[in-house]
Amino acid sequence: MAGGGDRLKLKREQTRLCVSCHRDQSRVLAETAVSRGFIVSYENSVHEMSLAGGNAAAANCVDCHGSHETAGALSAGSRVNIRNIPKTCARCHSKEASEYALSAHGSALRKGLPDAPVCTTCHGEHHILKSADPNSPVSVRNVSDMVCGTCHGSVRLSERYGMATDRVQTFADSYHGLATRGGSVWPSTAPAATGPMPSGPPRTRCPDQPCEPGSHLRTVPRGADAKFTSAPVHVTASAHGQEPAVYWIATLYVWLIVVVVGGMLLHNGLDLVKKVRRKIGIQKGLIVEEAVPHRLYLRMTVNERIQHGTLVVSFVTLVITGFMLQFPDAWWVIHIRRHFTHVFEWRGIIHRVAGVVLVAAGVWHFAYLAFTVRGRQLFRDLLPRIKDGFDAYGILRYNLGLAPEKPKFARFSYIEKTEYWAMMWGSIVMGITGASALVREHLHQPDHQARL
């Protein structure tokens, strides 16, 4: 057996010899189905780069195609025949080949399905790149679109094998899909690590170390139970989907936004028109403006202003960082990402810090309402009353020109009360949902994700 240096030299010479015909001789190219570019692409592959770096174990042409027994890919005995590719790759990648054999793809190949994905389907053939390379199809940012999506987004394959047609879209709408589109990288997102294992109870043990991108088996997060592993992954927001509750909640939420925001726009629009018309009337002398004495009234103490400022800053921060995740392709998000390369990695940290600040501000405010005289009075004055309904009706009549005067308000009008309780309700919902999501993340995610 040749030594390491002799073996390396031999493999380099073999590669040079193969390329001298398949790249440089037009006659050979004319008799094959591949292009010169396809042959040349091997020079930039992880195999050739490793071989050029002195690794005698790196694969060259002979390792994959054979020498004297080389046959075309359509030949049943060829090493690069689709049914033999896993065995060929296993010569160097035995661990990955064993995992592939247990996967849904490996099972499909053993059944003889012609469309079953093999190693080269996902990783490429000659131009195989490292999974960390952003140009690699199996990099965490590309794998869902360039690899999984080519089959699971295909109408032809979905109809032929009875696969669900919405898997690519539902992944894109999930946290992992949105975070990937937003520029987040492994391990904060995990499209590649959730490998093609059949659905149902897991067949792999909890890993002692974080799984790497490109893993061929679905790993089970430490601490996860059977209920977690059987939970639906691709949830559709439809009335007849896996989780109809998601559809009804989403629908209710949309209608709530339409009614609340639409009502606010109508209310403020009528109020603006009335104020503009009154201002014009005063300027023309048609309306006599009443003289109002100048009075200075302190509405909020320093304590209350700090509470208010803390709540506003944390709430706005949560909204911005939350929308960055939900709409990663929005123009303003792209603008931020263009100027701050790692902003999406910081987005999650900033979002969590803002959530903690929001909860702390809420606890502070509740304590202020409960344990101070001014706070208890503030709470009583902000409670809704029947008069608020009559005041809202009176303002509507006044803005429509059906009443000559506005109603007189107490310390807080119905508008201020509505804004206050809307903020309180929204903060409570955001706090509860954020805390529950954080708990689920720590209980159900692998250690490396729980630390994020």
Q: d(Cα 169, Cα 370) in Å, to the nearest integer?
A: 48
Segment 199-204 shows an average pLDDT of 48
Question: How far is residue 324 CA from its own chain's centroid?
Answer: 10
Residue 270 pLDDT class (50, 70, 90 cuts): very high
pLDDT tens-digit map of 88-117: 999 999 999 999 999 889 999 999 888 999
Non-local CB neighbours of 18 within 8 Å, separated by 6+ positions: 60, 61, 62
Radius of gyration of the chain (CA): 32
Q: What are phi and psi of 194, to 5 degrees?
A: -85, 85
Helix axes 386-399, 414-444, angle to 10 degrees: 120
Helices and strands, counts by H and E, the chain: 22, 0
Q: d(Cα 189, Cα 178) in Å, to the nearest integer?
A: 9
Burial class (CB in 10 A: 0-12, 13-18, 19+), 41: middle
pLDDT tens-digit map of 247-263: 787 788 888 889 988 99
List the single range of 193-202, 239-248, 390-399 with lowest mean pLDDT. Answer: 193-202
Segment 210-229 shows an average pLDDT of 50
pLDDT tens-digit map of 318-377: 989 888 888 887 888 888 878 887 777 788 889 989 999 999 999 999 999 999 999 999
**Contact indicator for 364, 433 with CB cutoff of 8 Å:** no
Total count of residues recorded for the chain: 452
Strand partners, 194: 218
- The per-residue pLDDT for 204 is 44
Among 309, 315, 335, which residue's Cα sits nearest to residue 324?
Answer: 335
Residue 207 pLDDT class (50, 70, 90 cuts): very low
pLDDT tens-digit map of 126-162: 999 988 888 899 887 788 888 888 888 888 888 888 8
**Contact indicator for 138, 131 with CB cutoff of 8 Å:** yes
Q: d(Cα 349, Cα 184) in Å, to the nearest integer?
A: 12
Among 13, 44, 23, which residue's Cα sits nearest to residue 125?
Answer: 44
